[in-house]
Chain A
């Protein structure tokens, strides 16, 4: 089962590699396919960080616009999805800080069944792989000590700096730094076990 999932992920990555190479050459149908594959993930991230539908809609357009413009500079030795998520996260955090908005993090996704996340006209095969990856990331997060998970989530989804997290939680700055480092290390180890990141 795990071997099959790994194979599916490898195929999805190969597809992504081909698509982004075609996008770099100006192929709009390839861009369309990448959009269909990842727009829901980017929109979900933008909604969670920005907490405003209109801003998230703008984010989706801007992020994919950057993908279109920067496709030629994409390092093909790396996977497309983390690169895309990096662009999306950078944009959302910059936007969040620009607005000086500090929404509270909410990490209660269990009540959203996976099926409701699958868009009707998306690339179902790729979406299934994404759903599986989402499950693995969430499961890995659940296995972190709560204080480490909290530090990661406050930084990643609420755009708080180490100092702001320390202030908000009433912890020393050094404690927050350690939690962040240990949390990310453990997360990496857990995801390596599923070949989601390289060993």
Chain B
């Protein structure tokens, strides 16, 4: 290999990954000795590789979050053996979950579910019942309290950390129309239950979110 003929990108990648045969690696190494551009490219690969691999793992969901999530999974997704089938009394939270789950249409492509509602949307009760059982799993985090009642205009849906603009962005990202006004955040009455569920995933703070 001459200086004029640079190794292909994939050859350089293979060199960095130690995937080249000894002979092929030697040829590329010889080229690197004479070509500053390729040497720099390989150094860049090695530097980025090392940084990415040294990046610390991100803290996972807390065990209690996982437990709360698993417990809140819609029961109807589980096949019930015929000998266990019998009329079941469902409370409001269970009904809410079942209704929400029914709305989650799973379409499979090679067995993989595609674009669907968020976990919040899937797990949140359709009625917005304030029961802790009906709140999405993330709400189970300690200290993420929301008021128990959310009714008409002026009702307090929650008070969370951050800035009004940030809270508006978070709510909008969940499809909830929100506006910041006078240091507070206002949402439509119809979005109240969903806003409550979203706020339940945030830590308490000074930004008040109200029904407008």
A and B bind: no
B contact residues vs A (CB 8 Å cutoff): none
